[in-house]
């Protein structure tokens, strides 16, 4: 701080006061320059952070849109697969019903009378027995007894 101003003092005191004031002005000017430089650096840093934040927000927005699109695509695919599965189940059930009906006819035709007729014709009885065993196995594997009543 400066000493109190006095008009009756020698010129040397006045010059030293002016010199002290000049030093203080230079120090104040340097402080303001440092503050301005620090503020500029802080503003540049904030601008860079703002750009980085905008990039992240854009990236998150794009990822959200992609997530929604992929979820919709996955839902559509699952729905299509379910529909196809139901159609295949229906076709399989229909085929099973028809096959069981035909197998039932063969199973019903294996009677002692039909065996006697086959033997009288000279059919290979071992092959006939093997064939009817396969037919019965297929009939049982398809659980046709539950379907055909």
User: How big, in percent rounded to 5, are the helix, strand and coil portions of the chain?
Assistant: 85, 0, 15
What pLDDT digit, counting tens, does each position of 30-44 carry? 888 777 777 777 787
Whether residue 11 is predicted with pLDDT greater than 70 in this model: the reply is: no
Percent over 70 (pLDDT), the chain:
91
For residue 98, count other CB atoms closer than 10 A to its CB: 10
- Per-residue pLDDT, 113: 94
Which residues, 6+ apart, have CB-to-CB distance to 99 below 8 Å? Answer: 138, 142, 144
Statement: the pTM of the whole predicted model exceeds 0.95: no
| Average confidence score pLDDT of the chain | 86
Strands (E), 7-116: none
Domain boundaries, the chain: 11-147
């Amino acid at each position: 701080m400066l000493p109190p101003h006095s008009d009756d003092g020698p010129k040397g005191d006045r010059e030293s006061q002016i010199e002290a004031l000049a030093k203080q002005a230079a120090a104040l000017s340097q402080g303001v320059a440092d503050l301005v430089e620090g503020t500029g650096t802080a503003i540049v840093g904030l601008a860079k952070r703002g750009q980085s934040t905008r990039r992240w927000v854009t990236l998150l927005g794009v990822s959200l849109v992609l997530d929604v699109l992929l979820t919709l695509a996955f839902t559509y695919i699952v729905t299509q697969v379910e529909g196809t599965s139901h159609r295949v189940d229906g076709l399989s059930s229909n085929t099973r019903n028809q096959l069981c009906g035909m197998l039932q006819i063969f199973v019903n035709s294996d009677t002692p009378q039909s065996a006697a007729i086959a033997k009288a014709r000279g059919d290979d009885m071992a092959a006939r027995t093997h064939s009817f065993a396969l037919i019965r196995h297929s009939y049982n594997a398809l659980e046709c007894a539950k379907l055909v009543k």
